[in-house]
Amino acid sequence: MARRFRSSSWLRDHGLLLVLLGIFVATLAAMVVTGAAVASDEQVQHGGEPISPLAYLATPDFAEATFENWESEFLQMASYVLLTAYLFQRGSAESKDPDSEEPVDEDPRHARVTAATPWPVRRGGMVLKLYEHSLLIFFSVLFLLSMALHAIGGAGAYNEEQLQHGGEPVSVLGYLGTSQFWFESMQNWQSEFLAVAAIVWASIWLRERGSPESKPVSAPHSQTG
């Protein structure tokens, strides 16, 4: 009974992450299956053979489609982490209160150190300096890595199309200079920033009871954070 309780408690404590990862795996699998179907149709139209979902995973089309989207998501998160550290939106649940001190602004060097204090805070120095910005660094690295993989996959897909139409292939660096690469990026970037702006604004006026992304239902519109 105790073991079952601990298991259910662990699932409750990590349910949000587990469900999000489950949805991610399911939608990625659906993307692979449907992407393989689209690629197969194109192959047949050009006199080729259809490809399996497994073979599709090794194609430039898959890399381009996947990392093109990841790139914009991680850019969104990195930008959000950075901008919310310095900018305010009065009344938004997504903003710090511009009129009061926030716990997230406290200098960890003045914090009371206990056994539960993260090791970088106890260590101090450059380790702490990096840890202070580790969330931004994490998403920035993922953004740059995804952008590089998007460029590699996109160059492969671009070159395949160029060769089919008698054009010249380009290098990965050359692909970065094409309007195709930046069109693929910008069509995703603009939607990410629109979505963030929408929740920043909507959380001023609208509510979702029980969600940490919302203010309390009875809170005035001017309440921030």
**Residue ranges per domain, the chain?**
1-57, 59-225
What's the pLDDT score for residue 45? Answer: 84
What's the pLDDT score for residue 5? Answer: 55
Exposed e or buried b per residue across 56-91, where buried means at least 16 C-beta atoms within 10 angstroms of its C-beta: beebbbbbbbbbbbbbbebbbbbbbbeebeeeebeb
Helical axes 179-205 vs 60-86, angle rounded to 10°: 40
What's the pLDDT score for residue 182? Answer: 97
Give the separation between CA 193 and CA 133, rounded to whole angstroms: 22
Give the separation between CA 178 and CA 160, rounded to whole angstroms: 15
Computed over its alpha carbons, how large is the radius of gyration of the chain?
A: 23
What's the pLDDT score for residue 4? Answer: 54
What's the pLDDT score for residue 3? Answer: 54
The number of beta carbons lying within 10 Å of the beta carbon of residue 27 is 10
| Closest by CA position to 213, among listed 221, 205, 225, 222 | 225
| Closest by CA position to 151, among listed 123, 189, 178 | 178
What's the pLDDT score for residue 204? Answer: 97
What's the pLDDT score for residue 48? Answer: 82
What parts of the chain have a pLDDT lower than 70?
1-5
What token pair was written down for 207? 């509510």
- The model's pLDDT over 82-124, given as tens digits with 9 standing for 90+, comes to 999 999 999 999 999 999 989 999 999 999 999 999 999 999 9
